[in-house]
Amino acid sequence: MTPELPSHLAEALRRRGWLISAWPWRALVYLVSTVPIAGVLSVGLLVVVGPLLAALNAVWLHGRPPEIPLILFLVVGSLTLLALAPIVSFPVAAVERWRLGLVDGRPLPPSPWQGLAARYRTAAGWREVAYLFWLGGFVPVAYWVLLLLVLLDLGLVTSPWLAGDDNQPVVIWRTVSSPGEAVPYAIVGVLLIPVLWYVAGLLAAVQAAVARWALAWPVDAAALREVARSRTRLVGAYEAERRRIERDLHDGAQPRLTSLTLQLGLARLDVPEDSPAARPLSVAHDQARGLMVMLRQLVQGIRPQSLTDLGLAGAVRELGDAATVPVTVRADLDGELPEIVETTAYFVVSEALGNVARHAGASRAEVHLTRGGGDLVVEVFDDGHGGADPSRGTGLTGLADRVAAADGRLLLSSPPGGPTLLRVELPCRR
């Protein structure tokens, strides 16, 4: 099987073949293309930061307060810088989103222009401003350190060619007078080249991670809470409608269909077998009985009768007894469970045992029902050949949707060769 290619630089750095892949060169292009952007931004920051550092140095060394013109310049310059930063950050952020694709293939939402006022009001605008100052302040310092390391290593590698005759270069802390003395330093320099590649890749990965954090639009917490509330309302409305349909079928349609079946049965007894109406009446009676069975199964599919009569533990044991493989059921439940939790857990076990019978090739299965920490935990284990995959249509996708509708979580462990463990966590909050 072909290994999956890394989607971003931080993941690629953890791979063994990083040095012989295209990622080091992509990281280098990303770093080099950062230089003009960070350089321009750092010059803009130095217009204010330079005089500010000079004023602080004068106070620290000489105890003299800064002069009034310098204070006015710093105040006006700082306010101007803050006023222009949200506007300048927009095109810079657009370029950075495009450049981020060099080292990170994961999609990043674009930043549409929402008006000048929004640049000053929204959290996303000020996150981009923070990235602007980071790009013009910290990044140049890190790049200068990396450049010094590269120059130092270059001096080590070229020291044998620089030494000799009248030249006595200083390598690290020692003066070398001949190429022979410089060879060990050159060997160390060659060995340090892969290390510098990793350092450059790490610097690019850190810069890309900061860019992704700063340029990704933050989640609207209020909107997220409203989505959660609306989802709860939809689930509640679904449960109410489900109970109404179940009640109408059970109390309305099912008794009338039962009465109709009885009437057809009585009429069938009264009609002679050689009558022309005997066969159509017999067919109608059989169809009515079949429709009764179908309606009973439909009502049971909405909420199984065994779940109402026996509770969750008893209904699950009944499912285990009806399974085609030996099933051990262990239930540790205390207190009453919400109806939606019981129904969801029942169908989880039903679908899971059905998958075990159809796909797993297992010799046994286990079902564990436990309640702890405010959650109902359902675990279904089998010793089959594993390899369960929701994309292959085993019902796991629909099961995950059903669990998510109850605000739960589904976890699956099914390595090739088995075993398979399905774990569902359902909150029991009322």
Residue 185 lies in a domain: yes
User: Which pLDDT value is given to residue 240?
Assistant: 64
Question: Are both 196 and 67 inside the same structural domain?
Answer: yes
Q: Is 1 exposed, middle or buried (0-12, 13-18, 19+ CB in 10 A)?
A: exposed
Residue type (1 letter), 375? D
pLDDT tens track for 76-134 = 777 777 777 777 778 888 888 888 888 887 776 666 666 777 777 777 777 888 888 88
User: Which pLDDT value is given to residue 312?
Assistant: 85
Most confident stretch, 191-195, 275-279, 295-299, 352-356: 191-195
Question: Are both 198 and 347 inside the same structural domain?
Answer: no
Q: Are 137 and 146 in contact (CB under 8 A)?
A: no
Residue 4 lies in a domain: no
Percent of the chain past pLDDT 70, that is, above it, reads 72
pLDDT > 60? residue 350: yes
Backbone angles phi, psi at 54, to 5 degrees: -65, -40
Of 378, 396, 379, nearest in space to 387 by CA: 396
Cα-atom radius of gyration of the chain, to the nearest Å?
36
169 compared with 388, residue with greater pLDDT: 388
Among 215, 234, 258, residue at a domain's last position: 215
- 119's enclosing H/E stretch is helix 116-121
262 compared with 199, residue with greater pLDDT: 199
Residue 372 lies in a domain: yes
User: Which pLDDT value is given to residue 232?
Assistant: 60
Q: For residues 220 and 222, give the distance between their C-alpha atoms in angstroms, rounded to a whole number.
A: 6
Question: Are both 73 and 184 inside the same structural domain?
Answer: yes
Of 221, 222, 156, 216, nearest in space to 192 by CA: 156
Question: Are both 122 and 54 inside the same structural domain?
Answer: yes
Residue that is written with structure tokens 């990043």 in the block: 108
Q: Are 250 and 257 in contact (CB under 8 A)?
A: no
Question: Are both 337 and 242 inside the same structural domain?
Answer: no
User: Which pLDDT value is given to residue 395?
Assistant: 65
Mean pLDDT of 138-145: 90
Residue that is written with structure tokens 């190429």 in the block: 179
Question: Are both 318 and 281 inside the same structural domain?
Answer: no
- Residues present in the chain in total: 430
Question: Are both 17 and 112 inside the same structural domain?
Answer: yes
Rounded (10°) angle between helices 396-405 and 221-248: 100
Question: Are both 33 and 110 inside the same structural domain?
Answer: yes
Binned at pLDDT 50, 70 and 90, residue 2 comes out as: very low
Which residues make beta-bridge pairs with 409?
Answer: 425
User: Which pLDDT value is given to residue 418?
Assistant: 75
pLDDT tens track for 48-68 = 666 666 666 666 666 666 677
Question: Are both 183 and 326 inside the same structural domain?
Answer: no
pLDDT tens track for 107-121 = 766 666 667 777 777
Domain encompassing residue 135: 9-215
Question: Are both 208 and 268 inside the same structural domain?
Answer: no
Structure tokens at 83: 């006023």
pLDDT tens track for 273-284 = 777 777 777 777
Q: Is 21 exposed, middle or buried (0-12, 13-18, 19+ CB in 10 A)?
A: middle
Q: Are 333 and 371 in contact (CB under 8 A)?
A: yes
User: Which pLDDT value is given to residue 29?
Assistant: 92
Cβ-proximal residues to 350 (8 Å cutoff; 6+ apart), any chain: 319
pLDDT tens track for 277-332 = 777 777 777 777 767 666 665 555 566 667 777 888 888 888 888 888 888 888 88
Q: CATH no. for residue 402? A: 3.30.565.10
Among 275, 302, 329, residue at a domain's last position: 302
Q: For residues 191 and 171, give the distance between their C-alpha atoms in angstroms, rounded to a whole number.
A: 16
pLDDT > 80? residue 219: no
pLDDT > 60? residue 218: no
Question: Are both 328 and 404 inside the same structural domain?
Answer: yes
Mean pLDDT of 167-174: 61
Cβ-proximal residues to 72 (8 Å cutoff; 6+ apart), any chain: none
DSSP per-residue codes, 162-219: H-BTTB--EETTEE--SHHHHHHHHHHHHHHHHHHHHHHHHHHHHHHHHHHHHHSPPP
Q: Are 30 and 24 in contact (CB under 8 A)?
A: no
User: Which pLDDT value is given to residue 354?
Assistant: 83
pLDDT > 70? residue 386: yes
Question: Are both 147 and 113 inside the same structural domain?
Answer: yes
Q: What is the pTM of this model?
A: 0.50
Long-range CB pairs of 284-290, under 8 A, 24+ apart, other chains included: 285/261, 288/257, 288/260, 288/261, 288/264, 289/261
Of 407, 411, 409, 408, nearest in space to 422 by CA: 411
Of 143, 141, 140, nearest in space to 40 by CA: 140
